[in-house]
Amino acid sequence: MLRFKLHYLVITCIVLALCGCSSSEKEARAGSAAKTDAAPVDSLIVELKGEAGKSVFEITQRDHAVDFIPSIAGNFVQAIDSIEINGNYGWMYSVNDAMGQVASDKYITNDGDIIKWHFRKF
């Protein structure tokens, strides 16, 4: 019986040790919370060149396979080259390193503009 109680006590201590957070784990969590203010990290970037009078969407669709949902606000890009949005990641575009503020079919580019599609965690 004493052996059973000793085993029970040891197992209980191990479980409590594994369930609790050490101070280093708490510090790591606090550090990761501070990192949320950092610039977003892209998993993939598709880069294109702007053309006078052409929209970001037109240029993208010409050079890549694009799945999208049309709406009153504009086309919502679902996938580029079969890389689809999911619960955590999605496609966003920038022109000359400024994030787009309108739908990609509404943004008209100029010659020399640098378009980037960012597959990024939201």
Q: Does the structure show a pLDDT above 60 at 25?
A: no
Least confident of 34-43, 58-67, 105-114: 34-43
Average the pLDDT over 73-77 and give the result. Answer: 96
* Residues, the chain: 122
pLDDT at residue 24, as a whole number: 44
pTM recorded for the entire structure:
0.67
User: Residue 80: CB partners within 8 Å, gap ≥ 6?
Assistant: 46, 60, 64, 65, 66, 91, 117, 119
Q: Rounded CA gap, 36 and 114, in Å?
A: 27
User: Residue 102: CB partners within 8 Å, gap ≥ 6?
Assistant: 74
Q: Does the structure show a pLDDT above 80 at 83?
A: yes
* 19 phi-psi bin (left φ>0, alpha ψ -120 to 50, beta other): alpha
Over residues 29-47, the pLDDT tens digits come to: 444 444 445 666 778 999 9
> What does residue 34 show for φ and ψ, rounded to 5 degrees?
-70, -25
